[in-house]
Amino acid sequence: MKLVVFGLSISSSWGNGHATTYRALLRAFAARGHEIVFYEWDAPWYRESRDLPRPEFCRLKLYPEWDAVAAEAVAEAREADAVLVGSYVHDGPRVIDDLAEAGVDPLFFYDIDTPVTVAALRGGGAEYLRAEQIPLFTRYFSFTGGPFLHEVLEAELGAREAVPLYCSVDPERYHRTGADPELACELGYMGTYAPDRQPVVEGFLLDVARRMPERAFVVAGPQYPADVAWPANVRHLSHLPPDRHPAFYSSAAWQLNATRADMVAAGWSPSVRLFEAAACGAAMISDRWPGIDHFFTPGTEILLPASTEEVVAILRDTHADDRLAIGEAARARILAAHTAEHRAAELESLLLAPVRVA
């Protein structure tokens, strides 16, 4: 089949989790024999940090503004077997309107930011989607699963059919590597700065570092404010390209996961970082949210401390063999159910499935 995708970015992983998500999913989808065209707005900040300018698994079409490409893109979408619009697409409402008015069918939405989208819609509107556009989609694919799908997306917002399409990981790219001395530490965290994630970073990493000054910690990610008080034993890397992510996950004794507040409230919202770290055999420490036990078994595949003191105790008291066992158990869980191959097969099935009758 021919799939046309309108997404935030596949060419640059700088400051976003969309690129690695699309890369894993669409590379595996192409391997199933499908043709893919990816339309991406040529954002200046991504143009300056483009780490996949020519993806080999799809045709990338960068455009300066929607008006410059609308006629071509809509025509190509009308000829495709399926069309997918992602969250955070620049000029998203216009893109969706033009596709719908041209009779593009089937038309799908892929929300990599579902709770954030819903919070924005409840607050007056998301810049990439209007609430009244939701019923236009044949199916609403969501990074968030659980009760949120029926109770909010369908019952409240009018989605015709909301289904989970969780993130995934490419195990050929994410696997344990040798330790990188530059990245070696007791606890590492990778993520773009977000005010609602920062309390977890502060409590579970920065405060822990202050209590364990003899140990090293690393935070990798852009957009941290200048007034963040980094302890002397915490190294901050403003950007780490995807080809170094496996080394990052393999070089820390433990990895921290911190979740956006809207995702915590909705539950059932695993981040791609969780799956990527697990595929590398990383032992993970995470904040808590409903549904996390659907993806990892607490205590044996992931640890869920409730305080700074509990994190300190984990780092201080967990035997190395037990820590490695946690990482290996998480790795086995992800490889059994959440690889890009698993998700591409799900996507294929969902694109081809008959429309649900109300």
| pLDDT tens across the length of the chain (358 residues) | 999 999 999 999 988 889 999 999 999 999 999 999 999 999 999 998 899 999 999 999 999 999 999 999 999 999 999 999 999 999 999 999 999 999 999 999 999 999 999 999 999 889 999 999 999 999 999 999 999 999 999 999 999 999 999 999 999 999 999 899 999 999 999 999 999 999 999 999 999 999 999 999 999 999 999 999 999 999 999 989 889 999 999 999 999 999 999 999 999 999 999 999 999 999 999 999 999 999 999 999 999 999 999 999 999 999 999 999 999 999 999 999 999 999 999 999 999 999 876 6
Where in the chain is CATH 3.40.50.2000?
2-168+340-352, 185-337
Q: What is the pLDDT of residue 322?
A: 98
Q: What is the pLDDT of residue 242?
A: 86
Q: What is the pLDDT of residue 296?
A: 98
- Kindly report the CATH number that applies to the domain delimited by 2-168+340-352: 3.40.50.2000
Q: What is the pLDDT of residue 239?
A: 86
What's the token pair of residue 180?
């990188």
Cα 320 from Cα 205, distance rounded (Å): 19
Cα 85 from Cα 3, distance rounded (Å): 11
Q: What is the pLDDT of residue 63?
A: 98
Q: What is the pLDDT of residue 356?
A: 76
Rg of the chain over all Cα atoms, to the nearest angstrom:
20
Cα 296 from Cα 289, distance rounded (Å): 12
Please say whether the beta carbons of 267 and 295 come within 8 A.
no
Please say whether the beta carbons of 329 and 303 come within 8 A.
no
Q: What is the pLDDT of residue 124?
A: 87
Tallying the residues shown for the chain, one arrives at 358
Question: 242 Cβ partners below 8 Å, 6+ apart?
Answer: 13, 19, 20, 23, 51, 173
Question: 158 Cβ partners below 8 Å, 6+ apart?
Answer: 131, 134, 135
> b/e per residue, 226-260, with b = 16+ CB within 10 A?
eeeeebebbbebeebeeebbbbbbbbbbbbbbbbb
What's the token pair of residue 40?
């991406």
In terms of CATH, what superfamily is 185-337?
Glycogen Phosphorylase B; (3.40.50.2000)
> Strand 185-190 relative to strand 139-142: parallel, antiparallel, unpaired?
unpaired
Cα 336 from Cα 269, distance rounded (Å): 19
pTM: 0.90
Q: What is the pLDDT of residue 290?
A: 97
